[in-house]
Amino acid sequence: MGEKKFRSDQLWRSLYHDVSNSFEEMSTLSKPFRKSLREKYSISTLKEVMALTSSDRTTSKSLYRLCDGELIETVMMRYESDGHRRNRKTACISTQAGCALGCTFCATGQQGFRRNLTVGEIVAQVIEMQRVAIAEDLDQIDGGQRTKGEVQGVTNVVFMGMGEPLANYKNTISAIRVLNDGQGLNIGARHITVSTVGLIPEILKLADEDLQINLAISLHAPDNATRSQTMPVNKRYPVEELINACHKYAAKTKRRIFFEYVLLKEQNDSIEQAQKLGRLLNGLHCHVNLIPVNPTRDGPFERTDLIVAKSFQGGLKQYGIPSTVRMEKGIDINAGCGQLRERAIEILDN
């Protein structure tokens, strides 16, 4: 555009640090440059078409329409300090419109795959949540003293929304580098988590990226027979091969791996399955998150109750596997992946 090189740094900071809504807000740029940008470009490709907040105010979910009409979801989860960690605001973001992997307990998997999101569409979700988080922080500051040091904003990002992040590998990695950039959103790599159903080639590739992010594996069963019933990808990448890849990843990165285990009533939640999972993960630097399922309209599974979940956790403890029964967020607003889109489609169709 014929501008001096330092203008790109100013523009970058305005977009990713100041999270400007418009080019007119970018006061560090000259008026002619702002005018030229406004005529040629737009800042965000997202248009919010629905937003819900849980009754306890800790979880909010937005449904965004993209420029081609596709709908994606983004969730903000708010956690108070628990004595070990400070207050956190976690953005859960999508990487695809739909998903091709067809996990039977997932609302997104029941909707099919349409396309990958661009880097801009992925990052824009965090920027939208950052604007919300900053506004909340400013509202909570006593006496109207709005100092930069008191504004926390989004602290964590999890790639656990619609789609399989590692199936959109290049754009996911590029988005992570933007989010992590010190002159932008500056979200620490160790506060970024990428979830995958277990695409082994991409897991091994990720180990070579030199990113200190967290890897979360959607496991959901300790054996091939059970896992294949709910996760078709297991037929391509069986459990034993997946766990072997996890050992390689942990050895190379020196990072603990998180395993997501959605508890499905009378499907994968028995004490015997817990013990089998303990044996499977024995010797691997890991942590298991136990998640009672968010039931979906067309899904065949019911939630495991807390007593059974605690029993399952006890089975893991026998093998020294650390675990947490995940704090439930947003049940009353269909916060599970894909559920708000499903609800919106119903409304639009009627």
Domain extent listing, the chain: 1-43, 45-349
Pairing of strands 113-116, 59-65: unpaired
User: Is 164 a catalytic site residue?
Assistant: no
Model pLDDT for residues 143-162, shown as the tens digit of each residue: 555 555 567 899 999 999 99
Q: Which residue carries 């640090």 as its tokens?
A: 17
CATH topology classification for 45-349:
TIM Barrel (3.20.20)
For residue range 164-197, what is the model confidence (pLDDT) as tens digits? 999 999 999 999 999 999 999 999 999 999 999 9
Percent of the chain with pLDDT over 70: 87
Write the CA distances from 62 to 9, 113, 251, 340, integer angstroms. Answer: 30, 20, 38, 8
* Per-residue pLDDT, 152: 83
Q: Considering 164, 246, 337, 342, which one is annotated as catalytic?
A: 337
Q: How many CB atoms lie within 10 A of CB 76?
A: 25
pLDDT of residue 272: 96
Verify whether residue 73 is a known catalytic residue: yes
CA distances from 60 to 120, 124, 165, 319 (A): 22, 17, 22, 37
CATH code at 1-43: 1.10.150.530
Q: What pLDDT is recorded for position 237?
A: 97
pLDDT at 273 over 50: yes
Task: Given the residues 25, 73, 209, 260, select the one marked as catalytic.
Answer: 73
| CA pair distance 247, 242, nearest whole angstrom | 9
pLDDT digits (tens, 9 = 90+) for 34-91: 999 999 999 988 999 999 998 888 999 999 999 999 999 999 999 887 766 778 999 9
Mean pLDDT of 200-216: 97
